[in-house]
Amino acid sequence: MLRFDAEKSVRFCDGVSRRDFLHAGSASLAGLSLPAYADLKAQGAVRKDRDVNCIMIFMLGGPSQLDTWDMKPDAPAEIRGPYKPIETNVSGIRISEIFPRMARHADKYALVRSVYHTAAAVHDTGHQMMQTGRLFQGGIEHPHPGCVLARMKGPRGAAPPHVVLPTPMGPTGGNLPHGQSAGYLGKQFDPLTLNADPSRPDFKVADLLPPDYISRIRADRRQSLRDAVDSGVKEFESSANAKLLDSNFQQAYTLMSSPEARESFNVSAEPEAVRKKYGMNKFGQSCLMARRMVERGVRFVTINMFETVFNEITWDIHGSRPFTPIQAYRDIVGPWFDNGYSSLLEELSQRGMLENTLVVCMGEFGRTPKVNPAGGRDHWPQCWSIFFAGGGVRGGQVVGASDEIGGYPKDRPVTPPEVAASVYRSLGISIHHELSGPQGRPIMLVDNGVQPINELFS
């Protein structure tokens, strides 16, 4: 995964060396070639009439369905929790009082109140399943849909096809992939990651390559660049891929260092009133940055609302340290989300961008129906809520329902593979398309027989 740091222009993680950048990043970081894209369209894998962007908001920690978007006010106190439901601008749809602005936009989004899975109730598992539709099994790491989009449609001009804001997911109790990489597609389709807080007063994005790269890639210094890396590159130059390296290196450089790419990160260019409306916090400014990126050609933006569940205020309300008390939903987490998400929907709608931008919000699981002795709720993958807006989704509706305590699906159960299939449908990518997996083995985007949540689009 390539990372943009505020203090350092960029650094590489996951074992990517400068040589790796030359082999993978410069050879195909710019994405799919036009002939290959045309071939995919001819195969029917990419719909010609849909060029939809996506902003995926991952609510790391697992929001409680009972305290947010599927309240049970008539249940006993230990079930219903401390918050009250409020009316929205759509008759019959009520959500938590901690989201007063979101309540005014219910006509724009569709709630799904019956998501569940039967795998382990751990964060990493939920991260993988909800984003890729599959589990990490047999050493196969499945790609994030933003990475699939990068592979199948490539970039628009200098804009990177997929960006993760504001930081990558950190430790959440397991040691498994979080589902935000390109997996078996290869590092060249990994997202670019900011890895900095855009709400900080000193935040800035300088050149998106370190100074030594920038000074060395001048046309008259290409041989110096090659000499600067290890001797393996000289062997590479004599291979069949050398021509591809030469032809695509400048594309990669343009993508990584262009003023247009930098400008999409420049939230300080926005009026102060706009920035404050989103919220002067890491999540709010990431939502604003996501809007700027989509405007400037980025196809897919993933926003991690939080980085870890330890010693940080998140949706992970076990109630005792190092986790979050349930009161933080009202005092911190709720207002952050309400302002950032509502402002994003408002601006996308006002600018005529919502129809062509899918905004999907999800967590890795829900929370236990019964409040625990610490006053919080624990992991519960048996039932929870997510929601979609834009990108062809019909707002102002609720899909599925939970039982009387919000513990299990009562109507229209929805699985993580169906969620992933719905994202692909909105993006105009055939869920029946097969990608080349390890050892060239064909792997379908989602399991055979899985269908999107078609009610979202009707």
Number of other residues whose CB lies within 10 A of the CB of residue 440: 6
Cα–Cα distance list, 297 to 156, 290, 312, 315 (Å): 6, 11, 33, 31
Structure tokens at 167: 């930081």
Matching CATH number, 47-201+266-457, of 3.90.1150.10, 3.40.720.10, 3.40.47.10, 2.60.40.420 = 3.40.720.10
Residue 401 Cα to chain centre, angstroms: 25
| Helix segments in 51-172, DSSP class H | 77-80, 123-132, 145-153
Structure tokens at 82: 């401390």
DSSP conformation letters of 310-369: SSS-SS---SSTTS--TTHIIIIIHHHHHHHHHHHHHHHHHTT-GGGEEEEEE-S-EE-S
Intra-chain end-to-end CA distance of the chain, in Å? 37
Q: Residue 250: what pLDDT?
A: 45
In the DSSP assignment, the letter for residue 46 is B
Q: Are strands 2-3 and 162-165 parallel, antiparallel or unpaired?
A: unpaired
User: How many Cα atoms sit within 13 Å of 46 on the Cβ side?
Assistant: 20
My answer on whether omega of the bond before 63 falls inside 30° of 0, hence cis, is: no
In the DSSP assignment, the letter for residue 318 is -
Which helix (H) or strand (E) element contains residue 87?
Answer: strand 85-87
DSSP conformation letters of 1-69: -EE--SSSS-EE-TT--HHHIIIIIHHHTT---HHHHHHHHHHTSB-TT---EEEEEE-TT---GGGTT
pTM, to two decimals:
0.84
The pLDDT tens digits along the chain (458 residues) read: 555 554 433 333 333 333 433 333 333 333 444 445 454 554 567 776 679 999 999 999 999 999 999 999 999 999 999 999 999 999 999 999 999 999 999 999 999 999 999 999 999 999 999 999 999 988 899 999 999 999 999 999 889 999 999 999 999 988 889 999 999 999 889 999 888 899 999 887 654 444 444 444 443 444 444 454 444 555 545 554 444 444 334 444 555 567 777 889 999 999 999 999 999 999 999 999 999 999 999 999 999 999 999 999 999 999 988 899 999 999 999 999 999 999 999 999 999 999 999 999 999 999 999 999 999 999 999 999 999 999 999 999 999 999 999 999 999 999 999 999 999 999 999 999 999 998 889 999 999 899 999 999 97
Instruction: With beta carbons less than 8 A apart as the criterion, state whether 391 and 424 touch.
Output: no
Instruction: With beta carbons less than 8 A apart as the criterion, state whether 402 and 412 touch.
Output: no
Q: Residue 247: what pLDDT?
A: 35
Residue boundaries of the structural domains of the chain: 1-30+206-264, 47-201+266-457
Say which residues have a Cβ less than 8 Å from residue 213's Cβ, sequence separation at least 6: none
Number of other residues whose CB lies within 10 A of the CB of residue 14: 12
